[in-house]
């Protein structure tokens, strides 16, 4: 067992910490890339197709009271929504598990368990997160009974992550109050790039919280009741064979659903980019790049992370042009994150060769 | 690490574990279907019932199910995300340049808000009306104010170090 809380700085470069930091950033990077691919190539086309299905097939089928035709049309809509749901779930879970892995990496010096046990717990987090997310993603392209097996694997992945978290809680129990952990944390955050990421990240999280509070009020008082009332109007109009009114209501319903999805994405992305910035602030010491380049990547990440959610929100008002900007700024953050990951790999190599700073 | 930091860290990890359990339980309960599909099925049920000339009942069913699904998924995501923020606060706690008593008060408020907010969101399923919404809003407001106070201390601290 470690002497709790007294691990030297070099312990932060132990295999367990490396696995969690490297695994965490890799999970986040994969999640961000998937999000970009979804936003650029899939989301808009799928939304337009769902709207076409509703207007071109569903409404006429309801008007004709043709349940069989309506069922077939609905099957196509559900297929599109299924793909969206699986990709979005994979995107958000990969990133959330990445965050968890990096935070747990920072707590490793306080874990009283042996390196072997900590390595097993770290594997639970990284492998569990990967298994859960990949299973959710792959399940879309499979059919029963393979699909059932994959969904069980997804649950098993989630359970592994839970085991990793509970094991870490147990490992942190009874640690000494007198430790140099805080001094090490201060040292980790002492560089200019860390300070930039820490400050901007904290402010982004706060901005996301305030925006979320505002939007929750709008959602509960306006958007949620509107959704149902538009659906009601559409169904009433379809049943009474008023095609124009039904089409207009269903178009408004689809637009509102898109708006809710976009605004919710803006809210969650601000907080996620903020959280990521703070976490990256902690790992700057692991990044083997010059201070000047670390600062540049930190600034690039913060610009991308700060502007991307604003553009995402603007897309709910102005349409596709700001959405394109959101994608561009998202890519900026991904490039910065990838650069930091390269620095991490260099640091690992330098550690192994024995000339790490 | 101080004992209060340890408490915050343990609380955050327990909240994350709770969020994961909620997620696993919900996923199993809805047979691993995703939120867009579940909500769409709710609307499809409404359309089917409308075909049988019972649009009003259809809308009520759709409204209730959509409302419940949204809140469960919201509670799951918010517990985990806010717990991650709490973990970050626990890590930077010594860098927050505020009197110890104020820091502790703010972090207690943050922890309380993080627990109350998702509970309020879940309560909205069972208690319709403003009371559960008010609890969720109070929790969220507590989180925002406490976090703003802690950030203020953090920025002061980092300005002092530069």
- The four Cα atoms A298, A304, A309, A310 give a dihedral, to 10 degrees, of 110
| Residues of chain A found within 8 Å of residue B17, distances taken between Cβ atoms | 162, 165-166, 169
Contact A82 B37 (CB under 8 A): yes
Please name the residue of chain B whose CA is at the shortest distance from the CA of residue A277.
Answer: B88
Same domain, A264 and A234: yes
Note whether residue A356 is domain-resident.
no
Same domain, A198 and A217: yes
Q: pLDDT grade, residue A4 (50/70/90)? A: very low
Same domain, A125 and A100: yes
Mean per-residue pLDDT over chain B, rounded? 90
Q: Report the range of poorest mean pLDDT among A145-154, B104-113, B134-143.
A: A145-154
Same domain, A233 and A216: yes
Same domain, A57 and A120: yes
Q: Mapped to the 3 state alphabet, what secondary structure does chain A carry?
A: CCCCCCCCHHHHHCHHHHHHHHHHHHHHHHHHHHHHHHHHHHHHHHHHHHHHHHHHHHHHHHHCCCHHHHHHHHHHHHHHHHHHHHHHHHHHHHHHHHHHHHHHHHHHHHCCCCHHHHHHHHHHHHHHHHHHHHHHHHHCCCCCCHHHHHHHHHHHHHHHHHHHHHHHHHHHCCCCCCCCHHHHHHHHCCCHHHHHHHHHHHHHHHHHHHHHHHHHHHHHHHHHHHHHHHHHHHHHHHHCCCHHHHHHHHHHHHHHHHHHHHHHHHHHHHHHHHHHHHHHHHCHHHCCCCHHHHHHHHHHHHHHHHHHHHHHHHHHHHCHHHHHHHHHHHHHHHHHHHHHHHHHHHHHHHHHHCCCC
The count of C-alpha atoms lying within 13 angstroms of the C-alpha of A11, restricted to the half-sphere facing its C-beta, is: 22
Please name the residue of chain A whose CA is at the shortest distance from the CA of residue B61.
Answer: A228
| Residues of chain A found within 8 Å of residue B70, distances taken between Cβ atoms | 224
CATH 1.10.10: does it fit domain B3-156? no
- The token duo for A184 is 């090490």
Mean pLDDT of B20-29: 94
Query: pLDDT (tens digit, 9 = 90+) per residue, A294-311?
Result: 999 999 999 999 999 999
Same domain, A213 and A300: yes
Interface of B with A in 74-133 (CB under 8 A): 77, 80-81, 84-85, 87-88, 91-92, 94-95, 133
What domain range is A53 assigned to? 7-186
The answer to whether the CB of B70 falls within 8 A of the CB of B38 is no
Counted across chains A and B, CB pairs separated by less than 8 A come out at: 181
Mean pLDDT of B128-152: 94
Q: pLDDT grade, residue A254 (50/70/90)? A: confident
List the one residue out of B154, B133, B143 whose CA is nearest residue B78: B143
Is the reported ipTM for this assembly greater than 0.90?
yes
Select the residue of A161, A202, A216 nearest B154 (Cβ to Cβ). A202
Q: pLDDT grade, residue A185 (50/70/90)? A: confident
Please name the residue of chain B whose CA is at the shortest distance from the CA of residue A68.
Answer: B48
Note whether residue A2 is domain-resident.
no
Same domain, A182 and A193: no
Mean pLDDT of A105-132: 94
**Domain end call among A119, A152, A186:** A186
Query: pLDDT (tens digit, 9 = 90+) per residue, B106-120?
Result: 999 999 999 999 999
Please name the residue of chain A whose CA is at the shortest distance from the CA of residue B41.
Answer: A78
The answer, yes or no, to whether residue A264 has pLDDT greater than 60, is yes
Structure confidence at residue A354 (pLDDT): 65
Note whether residue A335 is domain-resident.
yes
Same domain, A135 and A269: no
- The token duo for A265 is 């994405």
Q: Report the range of poorest mean pLDDT among A17-21, A205-209, A217-221, A342-346.
A: A342-346
Phi, psi of A140 (to 5 degrees): -65, -35
Would you call B25 an interface residue with chain A, using a CB distance cutoff of 8 Å? no
**Domain end call among A155, A186, A217:** A186
Interface of A with B in 144-203 (CB under 8 A): 151, 154-155, 158-159, 161-162, 165-166, 168-169, 172-173, 175, 177, 179, 181-182, 185-186, 189-190, 195, 198-199, 202-203
Higher pLDDT, A253 or A128: A128
Q: Report the range of poorest mean pLDDT among A4-8, A86-90, A311-315, B56-60.
A: A4-8
Q: Beta-carbon neighbour count of residue A7 at 10 Å?
A: 20
For residue B98, the 8-state DSSP code is S
Query: pLDDT (tens digit, 9 = 90+) per residue, A34-62?
Result: 998 998 888 878 888 888 887 888 778 87
Q: Report the range of poorest mean pLDDT among A140-149, A163-172, B57-66, B114-123.
A: B57-66
Would you call B62 an interface residue with chain A, using a CB distance cutoff of 8 Å? yes
End-to-end CA distance of chain A: 27
- The token duo for A43 is 């989301």
Q: Report the range of poorest mean pLDDT among A26-40, A55-69, B21-35, B65-79.
A: A55-69
Q: pLDDT grade, residue B161 (50/70/90)? A: low
Select the residue of A70, A161, A181 nearest B20 (Cβ to Cβ). A161
Contact A70 B16 (CB under 8 A): no
Q: How far apart are CA A108 and CA A105, in angstroms?
A: 5
- The token duo for A85 is 């749901």
The answer to whether the CB of A53 falls within 8 A of the CB of A72 is no
Note whether residue A279 is domain-resident.
yes
**Domain end call among A134, A162, A186:** A186
The answer, yes or no, to whether residue A5 has pLDDT greater than 60, is no
Structure confidence at residue A2 (pLDDT): 46
Same domain, A195 and A318: yes
The answer, yes or no, to whether residue A6 has pLDDT greater than 50, is no
Select the residue of B13, B32, B47 nearest A165 (Cβ to Cβ). B13
Same domain, A159 and A280: no
Structure confidence at residue B21 (pLDDT): 96
Would you call A40 an interface residue with chain B, using a CB distance cutoff of 8 Å? no
Mean per-residue pLDDT over chain A, rounded? 88
Mean pLDDT of A137-145: 90
Structure confidence at residue A190 (pLDDT): 87
Would you call B134 an interface residue with chain A, using a CB distance cutoff of 8 Å? no
Query: pLDDT (tens digit, 9 = 90+) per residue, B48-101?
Result: 776 666 667 777 777 888 889 999 999 999 999 999 999 999 999 999 999 999
Structure confidence at residue A308 (pLDDT): 95
How many domains would you assign to chain A?
A: 2
- Per DSSP, the three-state class of B54 is coil
Same domain, A308 and A220: yes
Structure confidence at residue A192 (pLDDT): 92
Domain borders along chain B are 3-156
The answer to whether the CB of A201 falls within 8 A of the CB of A278 is yes
Q: Select the residue from A155, A185, A202 to test the B interface by mutation, using most B Cβ atoms within 10 A.
A: A202
Same domain, A197 and A280: yes
Q: Beta-carbon neighbour count of residue B95 at 10 Å?
A: 18
Would you call A275 an interface residue with chain B, using a CB distance cutoff of 8 Å? yes
Specify the CATH number for the domain of residue A58: 1.20.120
The answer, yes or no, to whether residue A356 has pLDDT greater than 80, is no
List the one residue out of A218, A55, A88, A135 whose CA is nearest residue B37: A88
Note whether residue A1 is domain-resident.
no
Contact B84 A154 (CB under 8 A): no
Q: Beta-carbon neighbour count of residue B14 at 10 Å?
A: 14
Q: How far apart are CA A125 and CA A26, in angstroms?
A: 13
A107-126 burial, b if ≥16 CB within 10 A, otherwise e? bbbbbbbebebbbebbbbbb
Q: pLDDT grade, residue A3 (50/70/90)? A: very low
């Amino acid at each position: 067992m470690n002497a709790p809380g007294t691990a030297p700085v070099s312990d932060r470069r132990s295999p367990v910490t490396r696995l969690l930091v490297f695994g965490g950033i890799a999970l986040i990077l994969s999640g961000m890339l998937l999000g970009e691919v979804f936003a650029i190539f899939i989301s808009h086309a799928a939304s337009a197709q769902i709207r076409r299905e509703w207007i071109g097939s569903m409404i006429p089928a309801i008007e004709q009271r043709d349940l069989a035709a309506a069922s077939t049309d609905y099957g196509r809509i559900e297929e599109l929504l299924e793909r969206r749901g699986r990709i979005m779930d994979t995107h958000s879970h990969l990133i959330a598990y990445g965050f968890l892995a990096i935070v747990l990496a920072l707590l490793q010096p306080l874990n009283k368990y042996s390196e072997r046990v900590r390595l097993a717990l770290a594997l639970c987090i990284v492998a569990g997160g990967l298994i859960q997310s990949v299973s959710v993603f792959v399940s879309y392209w499979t059919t029963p009974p393979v699909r059932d097996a994959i969904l069980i694997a997804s649950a098993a992945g989630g359970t592994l992550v839970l085991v990793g978290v509970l094991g870490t809680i147990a490992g942190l129990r009874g640690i000494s109050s007198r430790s140099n952990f805080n001094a090490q944390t201060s040292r980790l955050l002492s560089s200019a790039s860390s300070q930039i990421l820490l400050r901007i990240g904290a402010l982004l999280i706060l901005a996301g919280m305030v925006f979320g509070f505002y939007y929750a009020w709008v959602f509960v008082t306006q958007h949620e009741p509107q959704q149902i009332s538009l659906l009601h109007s559409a169904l009433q109009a379809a049943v009474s064979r008023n095609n124009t009114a039904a089409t207009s209501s269903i178009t408004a319903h689809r637009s509102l659903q898109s708006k809710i999805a976009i605004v919710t994405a803006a809210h969650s992305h601000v907080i996620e980019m903020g959280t990521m910035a703070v976490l990256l602030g902690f790992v700057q010491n692991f990044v083997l790049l010059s201070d000047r380049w670390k600062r540049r990547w930190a600034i690039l990440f913060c610009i991308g992370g700060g502007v991307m959610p604003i553009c995402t929100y603007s897309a709910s008002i102005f349409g596709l042009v700001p959405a394109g900007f959101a994608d561009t700024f998202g890519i900026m953050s991904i490039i910065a994150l990838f650069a930091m990951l390269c620095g991490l790999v260099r640091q690992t190599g330098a550690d192994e060769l024995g000339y790490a700073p | 690490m101080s004992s209060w930091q340890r408490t915050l860290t343990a609380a955050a990890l327990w909240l994350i574990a709770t969020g994961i359990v909620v997620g696993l339980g919900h996923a199993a309960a809805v047979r691993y279907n995703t939120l867009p599909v579940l909500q769409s099925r709710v609307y499809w049920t409404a359309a089917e019932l409308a075909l049988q000339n019972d649009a009003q009942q259809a809308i009520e069913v759709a409204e209730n199910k959509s409302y419940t699904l949204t809140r469960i998924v919201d509670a799951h995501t918010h517990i985990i995300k806010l717990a991650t923020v709490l973990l970050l606060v626990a890590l930077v706690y010594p860098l927050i340049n505020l009197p110890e008593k104020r820091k502790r008060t703010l972090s207690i408020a943050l922890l309380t808000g993080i627990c109350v907010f998702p509970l309020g969101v879940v309560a909205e399923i069972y208690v319709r009306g403003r009371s559960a919404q008010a609890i969720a809003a109070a929790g969220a407001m507590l989180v925002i104010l406490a976090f703003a106070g802690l950030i203020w201390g953090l920025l002061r601290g980092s300005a002092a170090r530069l």
